[in-house]
């Protein structure tokens, strides 16, 4: 009886995590946050002239929408439009880090046992990659131009990576692209056409530079052999030898 109860606990915790995420998604849809991501006037009505309350509103808004998997680049754009490129970059990065922390701790608290019980081998590979150098590995993941912010945070939450290293590394990795889109947002709100063109042109150059940096960091990790390998690749490289050793024919 005790074994059954202990075996059901990871499943119940996993279901609880899905329920929490589902509830947050429902809340975001109810509040219309996805539509507000493209509504600059709605944002300005809530932050302009509001002082500290406006800043806190923007941080909470950014944390919630990025935690729900919506593009962090849009909140950085809005931050640049509302607060200027410097404060827009900083506040968008802090808000996105809040969303990252929310996903990370939800996964670690509620989803870790369930995921480990079913995908232990894959998690071990990711864990080995992150554990090799937690802060730099987190930075590399966020710099790489391809990936899903929410899913990355949830995946890291089920590993053994220290929370502080992952969240701080992620925040540092958010900065380059957030700067790019905050500059673009500040350019849209610029008073002169020249300032607008310079801001948007600089943001395009920085976007290309941040993408190149992310790819370079990823390749450096790959050369070291610490990037996780997919199961299919592993089966292709090692499956034949394993099956031959077991007495079966290798896969063609």
Q: Summarize pLDDT for 180-189 with one digit per residue, the tens.
A: 888 888 877 6
In whole angstroms, how large is the CA radius of gyration of the chain? 21
Calculate mean pLDDT across residues 224-228.
Answer: 54
Contacts of 124 (CB under 8 A, 6+ apart): none
Provide the strand spans (E) within 30-142: none
| CA distances in angstroms from 2 to 5, 7, 213, listed in the order given | 5, 9, 51
Q: How many CB atoms lie within 10 A of CB 232?
A: 9
The yes-or-no verdict on residue 169 having pLDDT over 80 is yes
- Which 8-state DSSP code applies to residue 70? -
| Among 155, 143, 157, CA closest to 206 | 143
> What is the band of 249 on the pLDDT scale with cuts at 50, 70, 90?
very low
User: What pLDDT is stored for residue 205 in this prediction?
Assistant: 73
> What is the band of 63 on the pLDDT scale with cuts at 50, 70, 90?
very high
Q: How many CB atoms lie within 10 A of CB 218?
A: 17
Q: Answer for the pair 169, 153: CB distance below 8 angstroms, yes or no.
A: no
Please tell me the pTM assigned to this model.
0.72
Task: Look at phi and psi of residue 49 and say left if phi exceeds 0, alpha if psi is from -120 to 50, else beta.
Answer: left
| pLDDT tens for each residue of 9-35 | 767 776 777 777 777 777 777 777 777
Tokens of 161: 């990576």
Number of helices (H), then strands (E), in the chain: 12, 0
> What is the band of 171 on the pLDDT scale with cuts at 50, 70, 90?
very high
């Amino acid at each position: 009886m005790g074994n059954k109860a202990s075996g059901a606990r990871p499943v119940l915790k996993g279901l609880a995590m899905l329920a929490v995420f589902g509830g947050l998604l429902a809340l975001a849809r109810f509040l219309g946050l996805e539509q507000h991501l493209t509504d600059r006037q709605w944002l300005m009505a809530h932050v302009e002239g509001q002082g500290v309350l406006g800043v806190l509103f923007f941080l909470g808004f950014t944390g919630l929408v990025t935690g729900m998997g919506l593009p962090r680049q849009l909140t950085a754009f809005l931050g640049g439009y509302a607060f200027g490129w410097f404060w827009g970059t900083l506040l968008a990065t802090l808000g996105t880090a809040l969303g990252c922390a929310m996903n990370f701790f939800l996964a670690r608290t509620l989803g870790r046992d369930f995921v480990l019980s079913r995908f232990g081998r894959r998690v071990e590979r990711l864990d080995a990659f992150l554990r090799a150098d937690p802060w730099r590995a987190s930075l590399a993941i966020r710099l790489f131009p391809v990936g899903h912010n929410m899913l990355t945070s949830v995946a890291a939450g089920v590993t053994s990576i220290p929370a502080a290293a992952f969240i701080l590394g992620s925040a540092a990795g958010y900065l380059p692209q957030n700067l790019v889109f905050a500059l673009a947002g500040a350019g849209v709100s610029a008073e002169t056409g020249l300032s607008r063109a310079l801001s948007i042109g600089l943001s395009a150059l920085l976007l290309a530079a941040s993408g190149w940096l992310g790819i370079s960091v990823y390749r450096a990790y790959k050369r070291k052999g610490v990037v996780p390998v997919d199961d299919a690749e592993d089966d292709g490289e090692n499956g034949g030898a394993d099956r031959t050793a077991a007495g079966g024919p290798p896969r063609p």
